[in-house]
Amino acid sequence: MTQQSGPVLVASDFSDSAVEALRQGGARAQVTGARLLMVHVVHLPAPIHPVFPHLSQRDTEREVSLGRDLCERLVELAREHTDLDPDRVDVEVDFSDVPYATIVAKAERCGARLIVVGHKGHTGLRRMLLGSVAERIVRSAHCPVLVTRPHPSTGKVLVATDLSDPALGALEYAAREHRALGQRLVVLHNIEVPGGFLSTLGPLGPVPYHPTQETLDQVKEAANQLLRDQLARFGAEGETLVTAEAATDEVILRHAEEHDVEAIVIGSHGRTGIARISVGSVANSILQHAHCSVLAVQMR
């Protein structure tokens, strides 16, 4: 699991979305006693001047001056949007043509317990799109990543799980967080029943069959019991919910919106790509379309 002694790293590009990331990251650092590390990466590849080396010196001086100015802006943002003492806030500015890789590498070097990033930057996109900095950070990070969206604080957190052993990491992290932050957990598992059919393995491969309501109820109760056992294993209290619908991502998104959830917790494989909570790219859909913040926890 993730180191718990490191800082909360907030990636900032000075957009409104990044300010929301700072608010939520600062609040988590405040409650957990962690330091806050604000990082801004200037998307600017270092120029090379083999014929005119004095130009490289000029560029370096400009970067130093710009870096100093941006650090001052970061400090001012932290003062405006967090309740942290200044001595608990660190700021860093870097220059790179691959911002997400720089952020991920910096988080790993400092042993960050959490990376916080806004769901959109200066592009003006309403939803985080595949290939964005936020999505790439989720794919590559060694630690949990909180992709933030503005939402009133309700204390309600939805944990989506496929009941697999690797997915336990997301539930364990959520259980630890809910104690520190005073959150109310709902753990949800969806039994996908496309078109009303489940699949069983036959001699020639998967064979669909239509389960009776009694069978479906038995499967749901068994899943519910497993969820309760998993909560107890991590010393957490919460509500369990098992559904049986065709589209898992739609179930999760609908429940989160209807019940005013402030954050959804999902599992992510990290480094190798967005995890599929069940059939299809469910986690990716949630990251793109959730109305609230999404916490992606690496599945081991």
CB atoms within 10 A of CB 169: 19
CA dist., res. 266 & res. 287, Å (int): 9
What CATH number does residue 7 fall under?
A: 3.40.50.620
pLDDT value at residue 205: 57
pLDDT band at 53 (very low <50, low <70, confident <90, very high): low
CB atoms within 10 A of CB 52: 9
Q: Domain check: are 144 and 202 in the same one?
A: no
pLDDT tens digits, 229-258:
999 999 998 999 999 988 899 999 999 999
Q: Domain check: are 273 and 289 in the same one?
A: yes
Q: Domain check: are 174 and 124 in the same one?
A: no
Q: Domain check: are 5 and 143 in the same one?
A: yes
Take residue 9 and report the two structure tokens written for it.
């790293």
Q: Domain check: are 189 and 285 in the same one?
A: yes
pLDDT tens digits, 111-141:
999 999 998 754 444 444 444 788 889 989 9
Of 149, 165, 194, the last residue of a domain is: 149
Global pTM reads 0.84
Range of the domain at 210: 151-300
Q: Domain check: are 179 and 60 in the same one?
A: no
Q: Domain check: are 266 and 158 in the same one?
A: yes
Q: Domain check: are 102 and 156 in the same one?
A: no
Q: Domain check: are 6 and 125 in the same one?
A: yes
Plot region of 84 (φ>0 → left; ψ -120 to 50 → alpha; else → beta): beta
Of 23, 24, 21, nearest to 11 by C-alpha is 21
Domains held by the chain: number = 2
pLDDT tens digits, 20-29:
999 999 999 9
Q: Domain check: are 177 and 225 in the same one?
A: yes
